Amino acid sequence: MSKRKINLFIVLLSLFAVSAYAGIIYNGNEYTEKDMPFSQDGSGMQYFVVSGSIDNVNSWNMKSLTINDVSYTNTWSSTMPAAVDGNKYFIIYNPKNKFAHFEINGTNDWGTGSTTIDTINIQLPYEHNGADEVCFYTSGIINNVSSYGLDNMTINGTDYTNISSETMPDRMNGGYYLYYNTTQSWAHLGVDGRNVEKPDTTNITLPYSYNGIGNHYFVTTNLISLINSSGLDSLFINNVNYTNVWSTNIPDRIDGKYYIHYVSNSAYAHLELEGDSTIVSADPDTVEITLPYSFDGNGYYCFVTTYGIESISSWNASSVSVNGTDVTNQYTTTIPKSIDGKYYINYEANVENGHIDMRGTQYPDIVTYNGQDYNKVMIPFTASGNTAQYVYVYGSVDNFYSSGVSLLEINGVNYTNQSSSTMPSSVDGKYLIKYIPKNRNSYFEINGTGVEPVYILNIKIFLESTLLSGTQN
């Protein structure tokens, strides 16, 4: 692959500038732009950047106060260190208590130095489409990047424009800086990989709330049911913007987690997360089931299924939950989202006539795999043109073929621009296909017969029914 280097000094210091999403990236930290004169009071570590000519600074009750890595802790001074990238001064405000104070006076000049654009912190996997000029940052592990329709796409200064690659450049300040620039409405960038939590990420349990000034990263494995925020500069959860909104529309978990980035310069800012503090996972005695399925009797049982639940009903039960959501003694077709493609069902009854019944299919219209939704299609299937598609098929595959694509994956295995009759191992009987085209001439086809392996399912149903003394309908 041809890799073109660009000025890394510019990339690190000034290509990534303040926005509702993040500040200027410098030495791995995000700095919020401020105009002079400017002052800051109270507790909470902050990162600021000013640009221009500084007359003087003053601070007290500080643990530390640095400007371009030079200490100005608890002192007044009119002597400044050398500016960075034009006239920029990067300030780290680390207060001792709520009585801490910092002030800076001078004349603003943002006209020198490199042009600045937005920077967005992202969680993996991630996609971006359409005409835009923007920069992304991730501290995660990138397995693959693919793009088409872009004028320019770089990672840490190395050219990745309109190609698919599994080879990444060296990290910078612990992560990857991705520059995206195009005027095309059909342009696409896809980044696959897994997240690595920042060293300053705080693990939280639900319910949880936070107030005040700060730039914080939180992570939770709990199930969020409600998000409420106010007075924030930005709030992103798994790449979805929840700034100053109330919402029960929750994004899918990524790697079983919610990654939360909170930014506010207001003492009145508020974040509130409600949800189940139980980490949903398989009980040691969990039994895998297929649907439809029913069970009668008393006791405590844990089931798990990769089938799509369409309805669930129960009666005379003490407790029934699906992925932590209570559905005790009711009939409902409102089913919570799957967790990594699975549904965990906890059933408890104290009487012999307790009952649970679940209906569904092994092949629902949509399944979630590695944080991405895949739509069900039937074999034979073809995809063409410059629109990315995520689909899955099932049954017996004879062969498949792709040409002119940026990326073609089946169950995570790369088959870009290949013809083959050998399939990878199925995922619960499914073949999940990621089609990332290069242009309008891109093409993919898969041939075979979409038939469920009925005899295998029937044996499995019989064994599970015998084990649990349940009744398979």
3-state secondary structure 391-443: EEEECEEEEEEEECEEEEEECCEECCCCEECCCCCCECCEEEEEEEECCCCCE
Last residue of a domain, one of 108, 135, 159: 108
Last residue of a domain, one of 148, 163, 194: 194
Q: Please tell me the distance from the alpha carbon of residue 217 to that of residue 123, in angstroms, as a whole number.
A: 12
173 pLDDT band, cuts 50/70/90, is: low
Same domain, 386 and 346: no
Same domain, 47 and 88: yes
Same domain, 264 and 298: no
Q: In this predicted structure, which of 26-40, 140-154, 263-277, 393-407 has the lowest mean pLDDT? A: 26-40
Q: In this predicted structure, which of 98-112, 208-222, 271-285 has the lowest mean pLDDT? A: 271-285
Query: Comparing C-alpha atoms, which of 322, 227, 217, 319 is closest to residue 263?
Result: 217
Same domain, 38 and 103: yes
Residue 466 inside a domain? The answer is no
Q: What is the mean pLDDT of residues 362-391?
A: 84
Residue 409 inside a domain? The answer is yes
Q: Report whether pLDDT(233) > 50.
A: yes
Same domain, 291 and 357: yes
Q: Report whether pLDDT(283) > 90.
A: no
Q: In this predicted structure, which of 94-108, 109-123, 223-237, 417-431 has the lowest mean pLDDT? A: 109-123
Residues in the chain: 473
Residue 12 inside a domain? The answer is no
Residue 214 inside a domain? The answer is yes
Q: In this predicted structure, which of 12-16, 187-191, 338-342, 445-449 has the lowest mean pLDDT? A: 12-16
What is the pTM assigned to this prediction?
0.40
Q: Report whether pLDDT(8) > 60.
A: no
Same domain, 357 and 371: no
Task: Please provide the average confidence, as pLDDT, over all residues in the chain.
Answer: 81
Last residue of a domain, one of 194, 212, 247: 194
Q: Report whether pLDDT(464) > 50.
A: no
Residue 461 inside a domain? The answer is no
Q: What is the mean pLDDT of residues 302-320?
A: 89
Domain with 302, as residue range(s), is: 287-361
308 pLDDT band, cuts 50/70/90, is: confident
Query: How many domains does one find in the chain?
Result: 5
Same domain, 149 and 188: yes
Which residue in this structure is represented by tokens 């408890």? 348
Q: How far is CA 414 from CA 17, 208, 407, 409, 444, in A?
A: 35, 41, 7, 5, 13
Same domain, 44 and 81: yes
pLDDT score of 369: 74
Same domain, 23 and 103: yes
Yes or no: say if 139 and 121 are a contact pair by the CB < 8 Å rule.
no
Same domain, 79 and 104: yes
Yes or no: say if 150 and 189 are a contact pair by the CB < 8 Å rule.
yes
Residue 182 inside a domain? The answer is yes
Residue 150 inside a domain? The answer is yes
Same domain, 235 and 311: no
Q: How far is CA 60 from CA 41, 90, 131, 341, in A?
A: 10, 18, 47, 54
Residue 440 inside a domain? The answer is yes
pLDDT score of 175: 76
pLDDT score of 18: 31
Same domain, 328 and 342: yes
